[in-house]
Amino acid sequence: MKVTNYNNKKNFFKKFFIKLCRKIGYEIIDQNNLFIPTIQKFADQNLSKAGVSAINIPLGKTKITRKVEDLTIIVRSYTSTNIDKSRIMLDQNKDRVFNLPKIEYTLRTINSLIVSCHLALREFKNLKINLLITDDNSSEENLFRIKDILKSANFNYQLINLKNDEFKNEINLKDENDKLVSPGMISNMKNILKSINLTKEIVNDLVYFVEDDYLHKKEAITEMLFTYEKITSQLKREIFLCPADYPYLYTKAENTNIFIGNKRHWRTVKETLITFLTSKKMILKYMDNFILMSTKRHHPMEKKLHEIYEKEYCLSPIPSLAMHSTNINSAYGVPPNYEWIKNWDENKV
């Protein structure tokens, strides 16, 4: 009597079906163990493919039409030479969380970005990354420490020192209320203006402006890039992304739209600080706003940026991808439900 191996037949048809699904662009999932044989991954793993498709279970696949190929990160560095003042937030008489010299926040910010970029390059294999540190008036010792941590990056980087008289004739010394602007805020405005000018000169695609007190989670850059590709492909327009889930977002009831990124939910927001990711196209489109923001002290400082958010999408993640290391009571400070100490400790250099 002839014996038929039904298991072999079953496996043959299963393999054939998987190949067919791959060919016609469908994904299938085994509900017994949530394994996706077409891409050889489980449902809780990263299922998206850079520049090709974004996949979220159970929402399905989004074809990527807006590919990210180049990322420039500009970190605005300001480490005071005054030990006591270095702990205090910009033009505010408040101590920072952890109460350490400002250089500690700067170094950990840079380190967290380097680590996060290295992880992102595993998914975005053809991505070109350029990390720029624009520094104003740091001591030689602090500059040496910044240069030393930059050596750990396996992508392009550069430390740019601002000149003392740079933009001297462009930045107003009085704010919109005709009051004198503090030296620390003048330095900040110089740095912002330098970042805007660098965007015009050397940025090719995406630019990420970062203050030097934002400690990023390892997955931050990966999530932001996948999310940028996905949501811009869905909306057919450029957007802004902020890495922080600020406390102020939970202090008042406001209407918002929720998007699904790669591994995070993202909500529309109308206010951020000057740490955000967008495209060069958006910077050029709203150049007048950015120039005004960096040459005239407004209240709030980001007023001209918030005007843009009335016309464009700006999204922030839930939960947060970065910790803004300001005073613990700041409305724009440390994010809620976040591993603050772990994030701080793992970026010690």
Tens-digit pLDDT profile for residues 145-193: 999 999 999 999 999 999 988 998 999 999 999 999 998 899 999 999 9
Residue 10 identity (one-letter amino acid): K
Instruction: List the domain range (segments joined by +) for residue 285.
Output: 70-345
pLDDT surpassing 50 at residue 3: no
Instruction: Give a yes or no: residue 58 inside a domain.
Output: no
41 and 74 fall within a common domain: no
The confidence score (pLDDT) of residue 12 equals: 55
Instruction: Give a yes or no: residue 216 inside a domain.
Output: yes
Instruction: Give a yes or no: residue 53 inside a domain.
Output: no
DSSP 248-306: GGGSS-----EEE-SSSEEEE-S---S-EEEEHHHHHHTHHHHHHHHHS--SSTTHHHH
98 and 31 fall within a common domain: no
pLDDT surpassing 50 at residue 101: yes
Euclidean distance between CA atoms 346 and 349, whole angstroms? 9
Euclidean distance between CA atoms 86 and 80, whole angstroms? 5
37 and 115 fall within a common domain: no
Euclidean distance between CA atoms 335 and 320, whole angstroms? 6
pLDDT surpassing 90 at residue 24: no
49 forms beta bridges with 53
pTM, to two decimals:
0.91
274 and 232 fall within a common domain: yes
Q: Is the pLDDT higher at 55 or at 153?
A: 153
pLDDT surpassing 90 at residue 342: yes
pLDDT surpassing 50 at residue 238: yes
215 and 164 fall within a common domain: yes
Length of the chain (residues): 349
151 and 224 fall within a common domain: yes
165 and 253 fall within a common domain: yes
pLDDT per position as a tens digit, 242-284: 999 999 999 988 899 999 999 999 999 999 999 999 999 999 9
318 and 198 fall within a common domain: yes
Sign of the CA dihedral 83, 87, 89, 94? negative
Residue 326 · residue 96 · CB < 8 Å: yes
64 forms beta bridges with none
Confidence grade of residue 53 (pLDDT, cut at 50, 70, 90): very high
Specify the pairing of strand 60-63 against strand 53-56. Answer: antiparallel
pLDDT surpassing 70 at residue 11: no
Tokens for 28? 């299938």
75 and 40 fall within a common domain: no
Of the candidates 146, 301, 306, the residue with the CA atom closest to the CA atom of residue 242:
306
Residue 253 belongs to a domain with what CATH number? 3.90.550.10
pLDDT surpassing 90 at residue 52: yes
Instruction: Give a yes or no: residue 56 inside a domain.
Output: no
Mean pLDDT in residue range 72-78: 97
Confidence grade of residue 91 (pLDDT, cut at 50, 70, 90): low
User: How many domains does one find in the chain?
Assistant: 2
Confidence grade of residue 46 (pLDDT, cut at 50, 70, 90): confident
| Highest mean predicted confidence (pLDDT) among 172-186, 209-223, 320-334 | 209-223
User: Strand (E) positions, the chain?
Assistant: 35-36, 41-42, 53-56, 60-63, 70-77, 128-135, 156-161, 206-211, 214-216, 240-241, 258-260, 265-268, 276-279, 314-318, 322-324
Cβ neighbours for 263, distance < 8 A, ≥ 6 positions apart: 46, 219, 223
The confidence score (pLDDT) of residue 149 equals: 98
Residue 187 · residue 90 · CB < 8 Å: no
